[in-house]
Amino acid sequence: LRSPTHSALIGSGLAAAGTELTSPPLPPPSVTLRLLHIDVFHNTSSTDMQGMALLGNLETHSLDCSTCEIRFLQPWAQQGLTPKQWQDLELLIHYYLFDFNRTVNRIAQQQGKGYPFVTQGSLGCELHPNGTSRGFYDIGVNGEDFISFDAVAGKWVARQRDKLALYVRERLNWNKGAAITLQFLLRTTCVNEIKSFVQYGKESLERQGEAGHHSLPCSHLWGRVCLLFIQGTRTQWGWLYMAPLPGVQIRL
């Protein structure tokens, strides 16, 4: 015979199971589309660059800017845009990176910034289940927060209070047209793209899951330095020690 205590435990277990079965489903998680670019400035005339795109924690595209050719890493990653649109996007990225490198070199020379150094950029948008979104563009230098773009205000914000960061902030904010364009890309274009990628890559994204920590494959970046991880919705700059560039302080 079963004791009353044993029966009570069984009843409690069944009640708990019933409660679990009737609980409402968890809301879908927020999804982030993030573009990463890492630039190693060896000197004024030599720069190495690597880029990649991630939907959530799933790497979807890569960019080797010796050619600036977009590589599709998922079978559905080319959907959502026509071949002509992808071609135009490659050209836009090429022009942007050329201008980025030229501007960084010019500022480095004007402000006496020594070579070599590394910049890391993380830009994109986060789409929430209620339909709201958040655009972002964070730039780090040698593994430290440096400057960020406030997509709501349409202005650059210095993350350090030193002379160089403040100078870069003022210089970037002077170009109102570029700020308006970037604001539109982060708040409108990016959101449209993330909806398209989520539609085509839904099964892959569900398998991957929206984990809060993602380690990036460091073999992408010449065995020297790499962006180490992303945590939550804020970029956390880090380094993987391999063969450091001369003169670059590696932070572990």
DSSP state of 161: -
What pLDDT is recorded for position 117? 93
Residue 50: the pLDDT is 86
The total of other beta-carbon atoms located within 10 Å of residue 83's CB is 8
pLDDT digit string (tens) for the chain, length 252 residues: 445 444 443 344 434 444 444 444 444 678 999 999 999 999 999 998 888 999 988 899 998 766 778 899 999 998 888 899 888 888 888 888 888 999 999 999 999 999 999 999 999 999 999 989 999 999 999 988 999 999 999 999 999 989 999 999 999 999 999 999 999 999 998 999 899 888 888 888 777 654 444 444 443 443 334 444 344 434 454 443 333 444 444 333
The residues near 107 (Cβ < 8 Å, ≥ 6 apart) are: 113, 164, 167, 168, 171
H or E segment to which residue 144 belongs = strand 144-150
Q: Is 83 helix (H, G, I), strand (E, B) or coil?
A: helix
Are the C-beta atoms of residues 144 and 164 closer than 8 Å to each other?
no
CB of 112 closer than 8 Å to CB of 88: no
pLDDT for position 118: 92
Tokens of 245: 């560039």
Q: Which residues contact 181 (CB under 8 A, 6 or more apart)?
A: none
pLDDT (0 to 100) of residue 28? 61
Residue 174, pLDDT score: 94
Angle between helices 163-174 and 83-110 (to 10 degrees): 130
Q: Residue written as tokens 């990628």?
A: 197
Tokens of 82: 């026509």
Residue pointed to by tokens 């789409």? 127
| Tokens standing for residue 167 | 């100078």
Say how far apart CA 18 and CA 7 lie, in whole Å.
16
* Domains of the chain as residue ranges with CATH: 31-236 (3.30.500.10)
pTM as predicted: 0.75
